[in-house]
Amino acid sequence: MRKRALPRRPAIGLTELGFGAAQGGNLYRTTTDEEFAAAVDTAWAAGVRYFDTAPHYGLGLSEHRLGSALRHRPRDEYVVSTKVGRLLEPSPQDAHRRDPEGFDVPASHRRVWDFSRDGVRRCIEASLERTGLDRIDIAYLHDPDDHWEQAAAEAVPALAELRDQGVVGAIGAGMNQSAMLARFVRETDVDVMMCAGRYTLLEQGAAGDLLPLAQSRGVGVVIAGVYNSGLLSRDHPPVDSFYNYQQAPPELIDRARRIAEVCDAHGVTLPEAALAFVRRHPAVVSTVVGVRNGTQMAETVRRSAAVVPDELWQSLASAGLLRAG
């Protein structure tokens, strides 16, 4: 599988398809250890060498599982990213409850927002312990939407120190918006940004701010949420499709269905086109897709390898379903 190097950190090369490990934290429902291990094995066999996780995913469960799945593999052959900004504090009094933030795990810990220098260092130390890895290849600030001042003034410099020390290889931020990601690129010393859901076949907001700026500054962009939380994940979107983690409104379902019809006319499926579209932008270094088991991973690899004709983009643009250019 092809790799693309981070322009500012050329020693770090990301495979064009990345493995999203949120489901390894029991996102929405339980994923067994065997299912997750099979997903990683299938990804590895297909050549995937970029794996993304976070403490937020299952209150550390995803990091534990990913570290266990990768520990016996050659360390220099893969890239792991995790995130900072949410410290996990023990909450034994709530261990009998389920996590209230969408993961099917006991609420034995609580998330505490902290983008301070000390908080960032504690996050990285805890992630290294949970994964059992010797280093973190990429560290992202995780959803700092309401914490710009502290994130920019304390968290980025703290990550830069850890980068200088070799504890992390590259730094950036991961968010479900593009405007603040662009601000990080413009005003701070970052290497790579993760943009979730804002540059997809359905919407291209990041094409107006983040992507051109990142390209001009030599900052890599990883695209996540390529299916917009599920709306673009099936050949023909059903009425109960999700968008942005909630029920999709009828007008967006209709738009996705019209895109799917144009894809059908060109001999490709909607999910295949969704994956191919984001890779076309020169600023994009990888696309991370969340998977739960080996079957899902194999299907993702198949979709990613599909040949999509350039005429499809022209047809979508002519129909007003894709941003021109």
Strand partners, 17: 287
Distances from the Cα of 169 to the Cαs of 10, 63, 122, 310, in angstroms?
A: 10, 18, 17, 35
Q: Are 156 and 219 in contact (CB under 8 A)?
A: no
- Is 28 a known active-site residue? no
Contacting residues for 89 by C-beta, under 8 A, at least 6 apart: 109, 110, 111, 112
**Cα torsion for 254, 257, 263, 264, to the nearest 10°?**
-140
User: Which of 50, 57, 78, 243 is labelled catalytic?
Assistant: 57
Measured CA to CA, the distance from residue 1 to residue 218 in angstroms comes to 23
CA distance 202 to 254: 11
Query: How many other C-beta atoms lie within 10 A of the C-beta of residue 203?
Result: 15
Which amino acids are annotated catalytic?
57
